[in-house]
Amino acid sequence: MATRSTPTERQKRLGAEMRKMRLASGVTTEYAAGLLGIDRTRLSNMESGIRPFSGERVRTLACNFSCADQDYVEALAAMAEDRERGWWERHRGTLPAGLLDIAELEWHAARVRTAQVMHVPGLLQIEDYARAVFAAVLPALSRLEVELRVAHRIERQQVFTRPEPLSYIAYVHEAALRMPYGGFETARRQLEKLAEQSEQQGIEVRVVPTHVDGFPGAGHALLYAEGAVPQLDTVQLDSAHGPEFTGAEAQLTKYRAHLEWMESAALSPSASRDLIRRVTHEL
């Protein structure tokens, strides 16, 4: 199978999970490579995502690593066997790889929960609002770069119309509702759309009002994507230099607690919708 010069986050995650399984079993790289009839360098490349695994090889290694969690093994095998090119691949070479990784993460997620403090979640943005968000990036993006990002962001919304629509929960701080990206008219249209989307089946919008005391996580934008099994959950964080991804158990535990706090602090879906409409009229 051909090597990859730039494996995606999903491909790297599969390799990392197989390496973690091997280390937990105490098996050396040399021994594991021998089970597959390959050299240790090739296996190392597979564990780093540079070379692909096959579903058969995932199952062979899992058996010899004494992994008894069959749901986990089959979820990994399914990742290995999925070779279909997603729509986001059309943007490879014109957009940063991290943005494509976000689209791939959302597409394969069983459920997504997100927390936003500064603006409306990307999957729920209208074009003019998204354009204003990207125009606020420093250093400034060219007009072409902005438009490419806007087109990609709108395409990501296909997760709501795919054969099995994505289950999506958005926790949004009230401060984000009051940020007039693109001017007050654009902000009003965005909030009207947000209220409308919050009534769509499978989409839940929960607002954390400004009177809530304190806020964990220093206000970082957070996306928590649930995998086919809990071990394959992934957290994506926004940063000034691009998206960051982690599947480390300690980090997953921390961000699950963060979202549980958001759940307890946020208004109900109906009360959130009322607040969104009230802010709309106040802008």
What whole-number distance in Å separates Cα of residue 44 and Cα of residue 41? 5
| Selection from 87, 90, 89, 95 nearest residue 145 by Cα | 95
Alpha carbon distance 152, 121 (integer Å) = 14
Is residue 72 within a helix (H) or strand (E), and if so which, with residue range? helix 70-81
Distance CA(82)–CA(66), nearest Å, equals: 24
- Longest distance between any two alpha carbons in the chain, whole Å: 68
Domains, the chain, ordered by start: 9-81 (1.10.260.40), 95-282 (3.30.870)
Q: Is 116 helix (H, G, I), strand (E, B) or coil?
A: strand
pTM of the full predicted structure?
0.94
Is the CA virtual torsion 99, 103, 105, 111 positive or negative? positive
Specify the long-range contacts of residues 26-31, CB closer than 8 Å, at least 24 apart.
Answer: 27/64, 27/65
Confidence (pLDDT) at 162: 92
Predicted local distance difference test score (pLDDT) of residue 6: 84
Measured CA to CA, the distance from residue 46 to residue 38 in angstroms comes to 11
- Do residues 105 and 9 touch, judged by C-beta distance below 8 A? yes
> pLDDT by residue for the chain (283 residues), tens digit each?
555 678 999 999 999 999 999 999 999 999 999 999 999 999 999 999 999 999 999 999 999 999 999 999 999 999 999 988 999 999 999 999 999 999 999 999 999 999 999 999 999 999 999 999 999 998 999 999 999 999 999 999 999 999 999 999 999 999 999 999 999 999 999 999 999 999 999 999 999 999 887 777 666 789 999 999 999 999 999 887 889 999 999 999 999 999 999 999 999 999 999 999 999 999 8
SS3 204: strand
Q: How far apart are CA 260 and CA 257, in angstroms?
A: 5
H or E, element range at 194: helix 184-197
